[in-house]
Amino acid sequence: MAGNVSTLAHVAKHRQRRSLQDPQWLRVALIGLALLFVAIFLVVPLVAVFTEALRKGVGPYFAAVADPDARAAIRLTLLAAGIAVPLNLVFGLAASWAVAKFEFRGKALLIALIELPFAVSPVISGLVYVLLFGAQGWFGPYLGAGDHPWLGAWANAHDIQVIFAVPGIVLATVFVTFPFVARELIPLMQAQGKEEELAAITLGASGWQTFRRVTLPNVKWGLFYGVVLCNARAMGEFGAVSVVSGHIRGETNTIPLHVEILYNEFNIQAAFAVASLLTLLAFITLALKNLVEWRHRRTLEAAAAADIRQFVNSP
């Protein structure tokens, strides 16, 4: 998390002290070096996306974005994110409530396991679902292959397919975005403790009222922050979704997969036009992230200040 407010304070703090000032040539050299690095690795790729997307003008740009296959890909991406984000949001709230408000054995292990999907390669995240639901997988025979006397027949009758179909894409998306909300909420709720909730309960509020009126308002910015990051990953995921998708145009292609297909067909301009949508999503994500960090830090600092006052005022 970038601390813009406190960073400013620190810049000021360090500027006052002559002994801590780096010589002018060093400052210029380091700033130049940092800007050069950022320009080469971050700015140029961004500019390249939009230059390539608009290479043939505005008409072909919108044609590529409005293409029926592109629109189908956008719909599928919205659907996958629309299912994965709320599921992981509910999980994040449940996990952080349990971890932050109660003591139990194995808590550290639970926190470590929540972060596990970050350590797993996206390709492996997709692979494990193929192992479960693919034709050779554990549950595969029950899904459409018809081996099982009644489960297979039921799956056949209802035409249920997970891998190379929409459910697989949703499951892979849920897997890779699993930790985002929980990992924001857990430290936040732990820092806030449970005194306010205890007070509410003591005053006669029900558990649900306490959660809705006390806990949720306290963590709303952290929650929003987690949802923004979760959504960005859900809409942009490529590797995991690629393994389970089957790449059927207009049916099982998400936006990133559609970009890949266009690119591999040497339809470079259209690939970048669709990619520019994802780049805009990245810009919105970064803007919201910075906005939340700014607001969030102020609430956190206010909370810390209130804590100090409480401490000073107590006998």
Query: Minimum distance from CB of 238 to another protein (Å)?
Result: 4
Instruction: Return the number of the residue (72 or 96) whose C-beta is nearest another protein.
Output: 96
Determine which residue in the list 70, 72, 73, 127 makes contact with another protein, applying CB under 8 A.
Answer: 127
Q: Does the footprint of another protein cover residue 98 (CB under 8 A)? A: yes
Q: Does the footprint of another protein cover residue 63 (CB under 8 A)? A: no
- Candidate ranges 66-74, 147-155, 217-225, 264-272; the one touching another protein (CB under 8 A): 264-272
Determine which residue in the list 61, 164, 170, 242 makes contact with another protein, applying CB under 8 A.
Answer: 242
Listing DSSP states for the chain in one string gives ---HHHHHHHHHHHHH-GGGPPPHHHHHHHHHHHHHHHIIIIIHHHHHHHHHHTTT-HHHHHHHHHSHHHHHHHHHHHHHHHHHHHHHHHHHHHHHHHHHH---TTHHHHHHHHTGGGGS-HHHHHHHHHHHHSTTSSSGGGTTT--STTHHHHHHHHT---TTSHHHHHHHHHHHHTHHHHHHHHHHHHHH-SHHHHHHHHTT--HHHHIIIIIHHHHHHHHHHHHHHHHHHHHH--HHHHHHH---TTTS--HHHHHHHHHHTT-HHHHHHHHHHHHHHHHHHHHHHHHHHHHHHHHHHHHHHHHHHHHHH--
Query: Minimum distance from CB of 19 to another protein (Å)?
Result: 4
Q: Does the footprint of another protein cover residue 109 (CB under 8 A)? A: no
Binders in 175-214 for another protein, by CB under 8 A: 175, 178, 194, 197-198, 201-202, 207, 210-211
Query: Minimum distance from CB of 169 to another protein (Å)?
Result: 14
Binders in 31-60 for another protein, by CB under 8 A: 31, 33-35, 37-38, 41-46, 48-49, 52
